[in-house]
Amino acid sequence: MSFAAQTKKELTLLQDPPCCIRAELEAILAFNGALRQVEGRRVLEVETENVATARRIYTGLKSQFGVHPEVVVRKKMRLKKNNVYALRLTDLEADGVLGSLGWQAPDAAGALAPSFPTGRKPCCRRAWLRGAFLAAGSVNDPGSASYHLEITAASRALAEQARSLMNRGYGLHAKQIQRKKGYVVYLKEGEKIVEFLSIIGAHQALLKFEDVRILKDMRNQVNRLVNCETANMNKAIGAAVRQMETIQFIDEHLGLHNLPAHLREAAELRLRYPDVNLQELTARMPHKVSKSGLNHRFRRLEQIAESLRKGG
């Protein structure tokens, strides 16, 4: 089971007061409900691939509106061929539910026109976002390459309602984009996704997300430190190899005994300790010399070697 499916299953087990069940159902119908013609009759239909979500929608409609949705199960013809659960309300039942919600009459194409009442209780606002996620939400596994949570909406107004609630109500910094089949409200920051999971009541999913995210961040930090240390080591080894070549060239063409005492000292010390870095080399000097001072001596040796190569 995917992380998104596990999260939705956890949400369907929550026990809510009637006002929150109603707010959740309203969001589910807004994001996933549609008026269709089926076998010559008009029905209000909600589809989901999650059996736990289908069960929650059924019990919610029954308890809140006294209706008994027809449940139709079919298998998808593409990709994983999962079961799709369609819950259908007849014409009269649909009118009763929509009227009870205070929704506007469907447009000419039969699309639902949900209202967005303001002034809801905090618990109902969280339930509305939970219903939006159950109906049209998804979230990447925290162990994947990137963090991503999104909710899809058929209309701009519905997407903006969700984004406004997420941002103004909870400061989630949600963003919105348009796609071919509608609009998407999404979160990319791991911390904001954790906050959203907490808001909608997915606390077990939140803990799992945080565990994986912390482990992932620690692993990335260790990798950065290892890469940095490796780069520094390679840099030190490369510098030591160049210094050895320079010193050997000077010894062959001039002789180390002809160098000034402080340069001869640095050259002989490098020949004695070819594998250590500059900091370690300064600790082996018979008298105190800074790292930058020792580095200056090696630069002077390189200048002498370059002059010898040019015949100076």
3-201: CATH topology:
Endonuclease I-creI (3.10.28)
Closest CA to 30 of 144, 145, 128, 99: 128
- The beta strands (E) that lie in the chain are given as 33-38, 41-48, 70-75, 83-89, 137-139, 149-153, 175-179, 182-187
| HSE of 269, CA atoms in CB hemisphere, 13 A | 23
In this structure, the chain runs to a length of 312
Q: Is 153 helix (H, G, I), strand (E, B) or coil?
A: strand
Q: Rounded CA gap, 29 and 48, in Å?
A: 12
pLDDT at 79: 63
- Between the CA of residue 76 and those of 6, 84, 139, what are the distances in Å? 21, 7, 21
pLDDT at 312: 56
Q: What token pair was written down for 11?
A: 């949400």
Asked whether the beta carbons of 117 and 16 are under 8 A apart, the reply is no
Q: What is the DSSP string of 39-67?
A: TTEEEEEEEES-HHHHHHHHHHHHHHH--
Q: Is 37 helix (H, G, I), strand (E, B) or coil?
A: strand
**153 bridge partner residues:** 183
pLDDT at 203: 93
pLDDT at 131: 94
pLDDT at 62: 92
| HSE of 175, CA atoms in CB hemisphere, 13 A | 6
DSSP code, position 186: E
Q: Which helix (H) or strand (E) holds 229?
A: helix 203-253
Provide φ and ψ at 2, rounded to 5°: -70, 165
Q: What is the domain partition of the chain in residue ranges?
A: 3-201, 218-309
- Between the CA of residue 39 and those of 8, 48, 198, 306, what are the distances in Å? 32, 21, 42, 91
pLDDT at 163: 94
Q: How do beta strands 83-89 and 70-75 pair? A: antiparallel
Q: What is the DSSP string of 88-118?
A: EE-HHHHHHHHHHHTPBPP-TT---B-----
pLDDT in tens, the chain (312 residues): 789 999 999 999 999 999 999 999 999 998 988 888 887 788 888 988 888 899 999 999 999 989 999 998 988 766 667 788 989 998 888 888 888 887 765 655 556 767 665 667 889 999 999 999 999 999 999 888 889 999 999 889 899 999 999 998 899 999 999 988 889 999 999 899 999 999 999 999 999 988 888 888 888 788 888 888 888 888 888 888 888 888 888 888 888 888 888 888 888 888 888 888 888 888 888 888 888 888 898 889 888 888 888 875
